[in-house]
Structure 1
Amino acid sequence: MFKKLAVILLAFSALACSEEAKPKPKGELRLEYPQPHYQAFTNPCAYTFEYSDFAAIADAKQACWYNLRYPKMKANVFITYFQVKNDFDAHVKEVEKMVYGHTIKASAIETKSFSYPEKKVYGNVYELKGESASNIQIFITDSTRHFVTANLYFNTRPKPDSLAPAVDYIKKDLLHMIDTFQWK
């Protein structure tokens, strides 16, 4: 009886070890977000734009300041408005101070300017790479009377690889916001 059991165990172990053991590949989480449908953001302020229905607008601390919230992504775009009163350069310097204040953690900062002279919409988009607290910062102006900033922040520790799909999604929404931005 012992011989038969030993032969069976030996046969099973020979069959079990015939293939080389391979480690399982590490699984990655696939994040998919809905196709955006845009709606007009109207307000009593000096500007309007379109934003994704995946986001919600909430009032902020001051008049004409808003939070564009992406609750499923735990993200906020803080939108601020300033009326320019001979202090245009000060507003631009403040934006640059906010952007370049992230150089401690950011591995790169890509700056792209945009200009829509027919609508008097001008500005810059700053995309911050790496473990920066803010991933995208924007300013929009007519260069004489109005100045708007938009800053993207996530309610989580900065993890560039994990946040990349959400950043890309919101970046497309913000670029659409710029394309549809108009002064009243």
Structure 2
Amino acid sequence: MRPNLTPDAPPPAAQEVTPEIEALVRQTIGAELRRAFLPEFAPGENLDLVVRTVRNIYIRLVERGHASDYWRSEAPPDAVPPLWATVAKSVDWLDTKNGTGDHETAMRLMKLGEEVGEVMQAYIGTQGQNPRKGITHTRADVAAELCDVILTAAVALHRFTDDPAETLDHHAERVGRRIDQIRAW
């Protein structure tokens, strides 16, 4: 059975994702995007959740066009990485709207805690832990929430260093060296 992946289609009956259905989903979206990042769908995830994810991608395609740069990363080598460009926009917007005082710093740190809570909510939703709700999220939802945590942390990092990208790179290198030392034992 081929699911209807268009945004106005009625929701399908719940069924498990088979390799054939996953291939169809990837073919349908991949044909539009040519080179697309698609989330991994775990065996056993409900098809209706997969179809919702694909519909969201389809809607973005309709809104932005199939050849949109939103889906590609072909930036020149000297361009600011998308993470830090987005973080800089967010910081500028928040600083303009909310100011830069101690209260705003506290709000950004609390926002980070809120985002972590959303990760947990999404993960619980993938497990169907709440019997009243059942399975409400996909692995892709958890991944998106984790990305929100990373972005929110990067925005908060701006409050404590003049060069957050360099600070993060330096910290990652230190952690990498520690891992190498531990593995060498």
TM-score, normalised with respect to structure 2: 0.27
The structure with the greater share of residues assigned to helix is 2
Q: TM-score, normalised by structure 1?
A: 0.27
For the pair shown, which has the larger CA radius of gyration, 1 or 2? 1
